[in-house]
Every structure is written in structure tokens, then in C-alpha cells.
Structure 1
């Protein structure tokens, strides 16, 4: 699995995958096929020579196999270029945050925990609790009357001097309303190739997620 950071992006964009041009000794190339055919003609039984239709069939079969091999090589080259392109594009996510479904928020570089939840109907006396990994409530936010729709929330963690403080992952618990969806912002620290090569993966404190699954980017 390949992982890249900002320092690797420039070198990644300069590299392209190439298909070796030398034929493997284990494969039958055109030269070897012609030599084999010449030997077959040279040592054939003069009283029972190879018929023209048989030779034409052999040549057609070889051409078909060679065409499939060349097509496979072309497809591999195209797939490789797509994978590199996806990684290069996903590298733009590094240092930013993506909105992902889930109720656990992680601090960004500014010490900000944030996200949003969705209400089908308006609610009153809504509050938001932030819980640490042990389940303890570390902060409670009174949100009062909340309209229906997407409701953003955030918590800023700082020390007495105003410096950001990462206090670990915090779980969000909504009281006084039934949210249909809860999403949190996750900082992206790196990107990596998918095991299937279908999509680039974003590395976050919550784990690696698909770039296509992110709701928004900030």
C-alpha cells in the first residue's frame, strides 16, 4: 500500500508508469514464432506436408494471442496512470478536513472539533454533550431552539494562553432532539492508494476513508 504526504506530491506528479519493452524469455514473440514455423517446414514429412489452411490457422491464432497481450499491457498502463492521477488529486485534501458520517469528532490543527446534525422537525431546549473516550461529559453546549434542517456545531479546545489543545476524540450526544444524521469533520493527514486501485483513500485520525464518501471538504 502506497502512502504519500505533501512532500511527496511533487515527485509523484513527475513519475509515470511504463511497461517494459523487452519480451520475456518465457513468452513466444514474433521472431520465435517465425523460427518455429521455419523449423516446422524444414523438418516436415515431404510425403505429408503441412496444409496451407493449417499454417494460416496457426498464424491467425498467434496474431490473436499477441493482440490480447498488447491490449492487456495497454490496459495496465491506463489503470496505472489513473491510479497516479487519483493520488495526485487526493493529495489536495492533505491539511484540510472532510465531513464524514459519524458521531465522533477529532481536533484539527486549530483545536477545533466540529460537525453537523440534521433535524426533520424544529426542536426546543436542545443541548449538545461532548464525551471523552471513557464516556465522561467534558463539555455541554446549550443550543436552545433549533430549526429543522442541517445544524452545525463546534467546540474550540484551547489552553489559558489561547493555544490549541488536542484532548483526543470526542463523541457527540444530542439531547432534546432526534437527529436523523450526524456528521463530523475529520482532518486529513495523508492519502494512500486503495487496495483495489478504484479510489484514493484519505488518512484521518478515524482511519482511512474513501475520497468519494466525503460529504464536503473544508
Structure 2
């Protein structure tokens, strides 16, 4: 008489992987955990062909592969947590800039009708003279001044908001232009201005974060050349 043997233990194990346990269905993320791997490995060893057992190097390779995959998965999770923490710190630091002045490359001067407006120029070597000109929104010249033999490097200028006659101008946006004589040749110099930070726009990463500058619109954090003292 031939006897049929039912592999109940293997079936029970397969059912447990499917989340079936006495009729209760567990929530499954779809990914095998370390416990699942070792359970599978145990089943593999239990049902292997006794005449062709698994080689030790194959078993070690399987365990090493899973350990590496599990480590990479944990590293990715930790990195995401770290990135989220960095973004939060960046957002907190950026929010502290609201109301402060930052320097960006621009030829625009912001005049509030009362306080001085500040700009800056990087003066190249062998500069013998500079002519600083300020224009209103219509393009009319408001004021000009000449600086002889300026020192090489950063040169800061301050405009009190008056024209050539000493009359205070209205609040608004003005344009500065710097014409210089460098090594005997005429050229225009790149200007920058100090502008108040009105607000901060937060993005999904630090690269998306923007500072909204009064009169100049949104600028990236990488566009900021200098943060003025509060």
C-alpha cells in the first residue's frame, strides 16, 4: 500500500508569509524583513536534498547579500531623516534673516524715504578713478560723484536720498551705475546692493528655499553675498 504524505509544515509556513494566522490577516508592507529571511533560510535547510546539501560559501553569500541590502535600506532611512533635519535647520536659520539686510549682485538701490541706501563695488587693481551715478525710475540722473584713486577691493557707498541740490527724493527704486578707469581703460564695474529680506519661501529642499527681497523679488540662498549685521 502506498501512503501519501502531506507537507503540512511547509504549507503552514507559506501561509504565515501571506499573513494568514488563525484567520487573522496582518498588515504587510510587501518587503521581507530580516526575520523573514532567516525563516526562509531555515526552511531551505530543512527541505534541501540530503545528497546535495547547500555549500557553505553559497549560504554565506546569501546571508552577506541580505545583510548588505538590509544595511543599505537602513542607511537610506537614516539619510532621509538627516536630510529632513537639515532642511528644518536651514528653514529656521533662513527665517531669522527676515527684516535684515543682505547683499546681492544688483544695480538697484532701495530708498525708503528716510534712511540711507547702501551699495558696494569690487574695485579692480590699477583703478585711477570712479564715477558713481544714481538714476531714478524714469532714467533721469539724480546725483553723481567722482572718487579718485580708490583702494583695490570692496568699496562701499552710501546715498542719503538727496539730489544734486540737496533735495530729498521720494521713496522707491533707484539705479546706480559705476564707470571707472582701470589701467587707462574705461569700463563699467559690477555693483551690489544691500536689500531687506521681506520673507522666506520654504521648499521641499534647501535648494528650493528662496529669500524674498524688497524690490528685487525671490533670490536663492546661494545668491547672497553677505549678511549685514542686525
Task: Check whether TM > 0.5.
Answer: yes
Structure with the larger RCO, 1 or 2 (CA within 8 Å, 6+ apart): 1
Contact persistence 1:129–1:140 (CA under 8 A): yes
The residue that corresponds to 1:136 in the other structure is 139
Residue 85 in 1 paired to residue 89 in 2?
Answer: yes
Q: 1:144 to 1:47 in 2, by over 3 A?
A: closer
TM-score (norm 2): 0.64
- Structure 1 regions of 5+ residues with no counterpart? 1-22, 158-163
Matched, 1:61 2:70: no
What does the per-residue CA deviation read over 1:41-90, in whole Å, with 9 as the maximum and x for residues that have no partner?
33333443333332222111111111111122222222222222122122
1:210 maps to what in 2? Answer: 220
Tell me how far 1:181 sits from its aligned partner. 2.6
Deviations 1:119-144 (A, max 9, x none): 553437x4523231xx432x511325
Q: Deviations over 1:10-33 (max 9, x none)?
A: xxxxxxxxxxxxx97222211111
Over alpha carbons, which structure has the higher Rg?
2
Q: Distance in 1 between matches of 2:34 and 2:191?
A: 62
Partner of 1:181: 190
Deviates more, 1:182-191 or 1:198-207: 198-207
Contact 2:90 2:206 in 1 (8 A): no
Deviation readout 1:80-102 (Å, 9 max, x if unpaired) = 22222122122221101111112
Q: Is 1:41 aligned to residue 45 of structure 2?
A: yes
Structure 2 counterpart SS, 1:55: helix
Instruction: List 4+ stretches of structure 1 deviating above 6 A.
Output: none
Map 1:4-19 onto structure 2 (within 5 A). Answer: none
- Distance across 2 between alignment mates of 1:54 and 1:145: 80
* Partner Cα separation in structure 2 for residue 76 and residue 96 of structure 1: 31
- Mapped partners of 1:39, 1:106: distance in 2: 75
Distance in 1 (alpha carbons) for counterparts of 2:57 and 2:132: 85
Counterparts of 1:32 and 1:109 in 2: how far apart (Å)? 72
Within 2, Cα distance between the matches of 1:127 and 1:57? Answer: 73
**Residues 146 and 72 of structure 1, relative CA distance in 2, 3 Å threshold:** same
**In 1: Cα distance, 2:77 partner to 2:170 partner:** 51
